[in-house]
Structure 1
Amino acid sequence: MATPPISSLVSQRLLGKVAFVTGGASGIGEGIVRLFHRHGAKVCFVDVQDELGYRLLESLGGDKDPNIFYSHCDVTVEDDLRRAVDLTVTRFGTLDIMVNNAGISGTPSSDIRNVDISEFEKVFDINVKAVFMGMKYAASVMIPRKQGSIISLGSVGSVIGGIGPHHYVGSKHAVVGLTRSVAAELGQHGIRVNCVSPYAVPTNLAVAHLPEDERTEDVFTGFREFAKKNANLQGVELTVEDVANAVLFLASEDARYISGDNLLVDGGFTRVNHSLRVFR
């Protein structure tokens, strides 16, 4: 018998699974939604960007596809998030995979004396509190079933300092801490809890500090060049799809004994230091 092509061996890795993705209307979240849907998952994705959310929904089949739907949800509002998870369970019967992707970078500031505390609180509300609530409501569905996978999006800023505003870097460190703590509790229930932390990805989040009309192609080209120059792994540009593939891996049975991990998708950026120029 001929060996089937690799593409057929890895297809439909989430067939029949139910997934919930926050911040799924654009950027990395959109990439995750598209990939999960392609791999056979039933997906609910939420966001506050309704125009983008419904546009993505239509591109994936809209009302013609019963396995995908979009719901408006402010992840910092507990009732919003709880209702969205309840809606997912009502529609699909359960919840197998929770992806806490929604996040913001915050306003850049190189001087701690100028940091607005309300800005600090906003970043922590979205990047930390919402992640915790996502874990909480996912666990409420998964614990009785003794199975499930919870994945949160971190950043290279989750393990090193100096690459973003204090509120952003602090929040991403907190996501890793929550991942490890919740993995410790939920392991007894067969639930895996992990984190994915990427290097620089050219999405709107990367230039969110700029007004929308200034997020030109030239700006993204400059961002890509800056990321390429400072990357450890050369010859490869990190994309949304690369990050989505890492999330897919942790959501699938291929990662069935991985929990409490922070999977760095950074080409070694956080593990090497070229300042002494030994190799460069």
Structure 2
Amino acid sequence: MLGKLIKHEFNATARIFLPLYLIMLLLSLINRVMFSIDNLSKPLKTIRNFSIAMYVLSILAAIVVTFVIMILRFYRNLLSDEGYLMFTLPVKPSQHIISKLIVSMIWNIGTLAVVALSLLAMLGTRDNLESLKEILDGLLYGLRLGFGDKYGLVIAEYAILLLVGTVMQILMIYASIAIGHLFTEHRVIGSFAAYIGINTIVQMISTIIMLIWTNIELSMLNYSPYYSELNEWESSISILEAVPSKVFPFSIIFTIILSVVYYIVTNYIFKKKLNLN
């Protein structure tokens, strides 16, 4: 049944995203053609400028729509009048949450991929690609300089952190909407208040943990028998080396824990406290 929910959610949202993606790609190709023409006439320059402006707007629209649709589909489909029908299906509340989460992740990744593809289609000339390669080589050189042989691990951990961070943000929004729905009135305002409250608490906890961790690391470094022999550069390197072995793994685990908490809160409200009146 989860597969059917995902298919239904995907079909319901694809009719919005696919035309938007197509428009973005078409505009990028039009701009590519315009960029390749030398000595454009005044009317063609006007068309080119308009096309560039529309392309930028299409990217902004895709980002905004991805965020807005994620919220509206969750709220309208589960917590408005449609919720009466959805919760009469032989489906667990957890499956509703997971299906929404999976489809939201698909469109988040899809939007990022289409934006990258459209930029490549529009600007992917040989000179631009060579410049991009030089920039990437410079970034990799900086990573190797800072993290040594662990630079590949840093890239992998950062990618994982971005992925789980996106999941966490979506689930935090779901939990905020669910908490806001516990109010008998002004549920939208309650959802906003819940989101701000949750975000504030999490930021405070994160800051406290990072301060404690930093103090512990500095204390260990101060008591190291080799500390007096380290110069400022070597001390900075020793701190950087903690990123792949401690900072990123902790951040990933902490983010996963938050995601699980948000999921449990949302699922509990749907199972025990759901009120669609």
Normalising by structure 1, what TM-score? 0.30
Greater strand share, structure number: 1
Task: Tell which has more relative contact order, 1 or 2 (C-alpha 8 A, sep 6+).
Answer: 2
When Rg is computed on C-alpha atoms for both structures, the one with the higher figure is: 2
Structure with the higher fraction of residues in helix conformation: 2
TM-score norm. by structure 2 comes to 0.30
